[in-house]
Amino acid sequence: MSATVGAVEAAAEASSVTRAEVCVLACAEAWRGDGEIFASPIGTVPNIGARLARATFEPDLLLSDGEALFVAGTWPVGDAPDGPVEGGIWYRSVFDIGWAGKRHVMMGPVQIDRHGNANISAIGDLARPTRQLLGVRGAPGNTVNHRTSYWLPRHTPRAFVPRVDIVAGVGYDRAAAAGPAATRFMDLRRVVTNLAVLDFATPDHSMRLASVHPGVTVADVVASTGFDLVIDGNVPQTALPSAEQLQLIRDVIDPRGLRRNEVPE
């Protein structure tokens, strides 16, 4: 009897968790085990995730104000931080800390392929693109120097492509072709989307479906991916935030609900 009541309560809890909140925790989990390194989230959901990670299971992470300062504490996304400044993290020191390997960035590419090559630069031919985006930014250096994860809030075949148009973030195949200097520190951790968590934990570092979010089927992910994913056995469901984590997300880190702008219900 009591077991049944418990199961009903857990289900009620699960049904109140939004997809965006599942994504927040899935992003936070990227930094698990990282210790005292600079967590560099790009995008709203990754920012909430990094702050959640530091506020709960990864207290030694360094977080910046997005401008030039390392700041302690936990503050809402969209607001200026109120915690004490721990130090300067000027643009040039980002290269220092990154090339020293003490950084884990989560970037938001428009295209990614099965080897983890990622494009933030432009769509089309590099000499004359059909749509110019930001440029490669720090992605080439990031990917061969330190841990890198990716966040794609819209998992579609247009984003998960057989070949990216421009390799900004380096994938495992391209790094292997470039030689040991490129692979030595390369560590692509996970790819989080609105549907699933993916990683490269396969013998040849091909992208693997690690978990599907509640309400998403493996078939949904396959249909939304423009290449063959590695699917080994039963794919688990992405973990739900705990009650404590939900409270932090909803009341402390994202009280205005900005996460819903990236992952609508």
Partner 1 sequence: MTEDQVVAELRSGMTIGIGGWGSRRKPMALIRAILRSGLDDLTVVSYGGPDVGLLCAAGKVRRLIYGFVSLDSIPLEPHFQAARQNGTIVASELDEGMLQWGLYASGLRLPFLPTRAGLGSDVLQFNPELRLVRSPYGDSEELVAMPALHLDAALVHLNRADTAGNTQYLGPDLYFDDLYCMAADKAYVSCERIVGTEELATGGPGRQRVQRWMVHGVIETPNGAHFTSCVPDYDRDEAFQRDYVAAAKDPELWAKFQAEYLDGDEQDYQAAVARRAVEVSQ
Residues that bind partner 1 (CB under 8 A): 67-69, 90-92, 95, 98-99, 121-122, 126-141, 143-145, 166-171, 174-175, 177-182, 184-185
Tell the smallest beta-carbon distance from residue 57 to partner 1 (Å).
30
What angle is formed at CA 68 by the lines to CA 167 and CA 30, rounded to 5 degrees? Answer: 50
- Residue among 63, 60, 55, 58 at smallest CA distance from 33: 58
Nearest-10 crossing angle of helices 44-55, 19-28: 60
Report the residue number, 166 or 263, with the smaller CB distance to partner 1. Answer: 166
CB atoms within 10 A of CB 11: 10
The set of residues, in sequence order, having a beta carbon less than 8 Å from that of 66 and lying 6+ positions away, is: none
The set of residues, in sequence order, having a beta carbon less than 8 Å from that of 118 and lying 6+ positions away, is: 107, 109, 111, 112, 139, 143, 150, 164, 167, 168, 169, 171
Can you say how many angstroms the Cα of residue 52 is from the centroid of all Cα atoms in its chain?
13
What angle is formed at CA 216 by the lines to CA 214 and CA 218, rounded to 5 degrees? Answer: 125
Tokens representing residue 162 in the block: 């057989």
**Which run of H or E residues covers position 142?**
helix 139-145
Tell the smallest beta-carbon distance from residue 144 to partner 1 (Å).
5
Report the residue number, 8 or 134, with the smaller CB distance to partner 1. Answer: 134
Tell the smallest beta-carbon distance from residue 259 to partner 1 (Å).
19
Name residue 210's amino acid: A
Tell the smallest beta-carbon distance from residue 112 to partner 1 (Å).
14
Contact between 61 and 262 (Cβ < 8 Å): no
Report the residue number, 4 or 91, with the smaller CB distance to partner 1. Answer: 91
Report the residue number, 139 or 229, with the smaller CB distance to partner 1. Answer: 139
Tell the smallest beta-carbon distance from residue 151 to partner 1 (Å).
15
Tell the smallest beta-carbon distance from residue 58 to partner 1 (Å).
26
Report the residue number, 10 or 178, with the smaller CB distance to partner 1. Answer: 178
Tell the smallest beta-carbon distance from residue 235 to partner 1 (Å).
30
Report the residue number, 57 or 185, with the smaller CB distance to partner 1. Answer: 185
Report the residue number, 140 or 226, with the smaller CB distance to partner 1. Answer: 140
Contact between 160 and 227 (Cβ < 8 Å): yes
Contact between 118 and 171 (Cβ < 8 Å): yes
